[in-house]
Amino acid sequence: MFRSALIANRGEIACRVIRTARRMGLRTIAVYSEADAGAMHVAQADEAHLIGPPPAAQSYLLGDRILEAATASGAECIHPGYGFLSENAAFAEACAAAGIAFVGPPAAAIHLMGRKDDAKALMAKAGVPVVPGYDGSVQDAKALAIEAERIGYPVMIKAVAGGGGKGMRRVDETKSFAAALEGAQREGETAFGDGRVLLEKCIDRPRHIEVQVFADRSGNAVHLFERDCSLQRRHQKIIEEAPAPGMTEGLRARMGAAAVEAARAVGYVGAGTVEFLVDGGPLGDATGFYFLEMNTRLQVEHPVTEEVTGTDLVEWQFRVAAGETLPRTQDELRLQGHAVEARLYAEDPDRRFLPSAGPLHALRWPEGVRIDTGVRAGDAVTPFYDPMIAKIVAKGATRDAAMARLRAALAETVVAGPKTNLAFLHALLGDAGILAGEMDTALVDRGGGFSEVPGLDRTAVRLGAEALLRDRQAAIEARRERIANDAASPWSAADGFALGGTRGQRIVVEAGKETFEGVASWDGGGPHVRLDGDDGAPATANPHAAAIVPVDDGVIVVRNMRQTVVRLIQAGGGEAEAGAGSGVILAPMHGKITKIDVGVGQRVRKGDRLAVLEAMKMEHVLHAPFDGVVSELKTEEGAQIEEAAVVAVIAEGGGT
């Protein structure tokens, strides 16, 4: 067994690998960018090495920097986690050349499975079912459009080097094909350095079920059953579970055998996942399934497999990489109970789930569930990396028990800072259809009750205003006591007593870019706020607030798993935000402008694409808000811009 391991990753997966490595007695070595100098994984490792500036392309994706750190620290092996260099065949070869073990499959297997077209052809040859489509070398747009017509719409366009939903587009009709192809090619080139694509027939309402496989250098290979990853948004997994609901023993045996055969076909060693699209509807022994891709690494959702099989897959990875045989045979593996994982992301449901960044002012985890995280209260979610905050995993004797436990855990979780998908996950786990196991990969994107974004929480606004008034009152009292010696005077009592009845004061507060007016009244219990137009009891009678966290010049009220930022505005102040509808196009987040589609003086129509912003591994299209003319362009292609920076200005009316 190894004595030391360098973890070539960051965040929750780096912490996850460090946890197992230290339990096994390995000395742990972390690498970090300048943005991660104070990160949790750096603090947990025995030593850490700086490898570059914040952008991943200048740090975590530089194999030579990581190998330099491994050599300097005397690391005997490198665990790549997932993402970054985990599926980089050249990096695996460089590790071998440097005499450092790569905790992953052989470079040849990574290369074979890293190209969707090559992988699909190899799987078909090995007898693994594949989706009908086109994976040829001709990449001309017209030729691909002809192939799409031959296959028949709807079709999926996929970057051949893609993964995780990157470079993937669904096209339902001919007229949408050209734009979708351009976007998939550009995203593939940006994310993977390869703009080639393949086409596949779109299976109607499929399930996404994957099989965990493991193989050693002695020729042994097993599967550790399946995971259902059908709950996705824009091809990104949200909730995963094991085993798949409704799975039959006959179908499990067929899929498991196909997955093991896929691993053997590429001479696989280590942990891998074979992903399948499965025909929609109830599962049966004869249900059809089709090879989607093979991920030649540990998966984000591996904890649910660990929970139902009683294994530590990271330990298996280390042991197999060190030349040991698999810890268990297929006959020794058993399913025990059910596990469900929810991915908690820093993203804003009010803004179509755009990634959110910023400091984590408060963070509180529930008990009785597994939390895999790489952040602590006081850390920050930066715009440079994936915005995942944590994976929350619940296990139960049955699926119903596991789902209920996870939903309760989400309700107890507190995050204050970046906006999160916490309330959305909670709603998703309460959907009757999902609880019945009626899922497919497009369910979330089609929408439902779980996707409805509630309006601004007025109760949270009142609670925030009361908290700010209490703080202001406390500050006034503290200042009074410092400058006056009349603490014993009855006129100094802060009990709200006033001749003539309860006193009130008009206040103005700001929350969610809206301005509210109301009345604050005082009694012995402190201030009470009633906003204009409110009915019923004061907010403090039934607050349901999990936390009220001071921040800058206001507070964050965490209530019903949602965050409301509240600020108290001075009398006579508080103008509403100007510029709404003015045609000023702002960047929704920090990112890189990858394409500008218009020029100054160009006439545009409402909805026309103006520019494309790449941020946190995703593309965000900026559209014209109304018919008009581009009067200004404030940036250029390739530029890095900050959140809320002006990209362009659209003027109504004339132009050339």
Active site residues: 297
Q: Which amino acid is at 127?
A: G
CB distance 199 to 157 below 8 Å: yes
Say whether the peptide bond before residue 154 is cis (omega within 30 degrees of 0). Answer: yes
Distance between CA atoms of residues 317 and 322, nearest Å = 9
What is the CB neighbour count within 10 angstroms for residue 647? 21
Distance between CA atoms of residues 623 and 604, nearest Å = 10
CB distance 105 to 248 below 8 Å: no
Question: Considering only CA atoms, which of 160, 155, 185 is closest in space to residue 170?
Answer: 155
Torsions phi, psi of 7, nearest 5?
A: -100, 110
CB distance 355 to 42 below 8 Å: no
Distance between CA atoms of residues 55 and 41, nearest Å = 18
User: What are the residues whose beta carbons fall under 8 Å from the beta carbon of 589, sequence distance 6 or more?
Assistant: 354, 355, 356, 357, 383, 613, 615, 616, 620, 643
User: What are the residues whose beta carbons fall under 8 Å from the beta carbon of 480, sequence distance 6 or more?
Assistant: 492
CB distance 568 to 507 below 8 Å: yes
CB distance 347 to 355 below 8 Å: yes
CB distance 289 to 208 below 8 Å: no
CB distance 307 to 393 below 8 Å: yes
Distance between CA atoms of residues 33 and 25, nearest Å = 26
What is the CB neighbour count within 10 angstroms for residue 534? 17
Distance between CA atoms of residues 295 and 166, nearest Å = 14
Distance between CA atoms of residues 579 and 436, nearest Å = 47
CB distance 296 to 167 below 8 Å: no
Q: Which pair of tokens denotes residue 515?
A: 């301005």
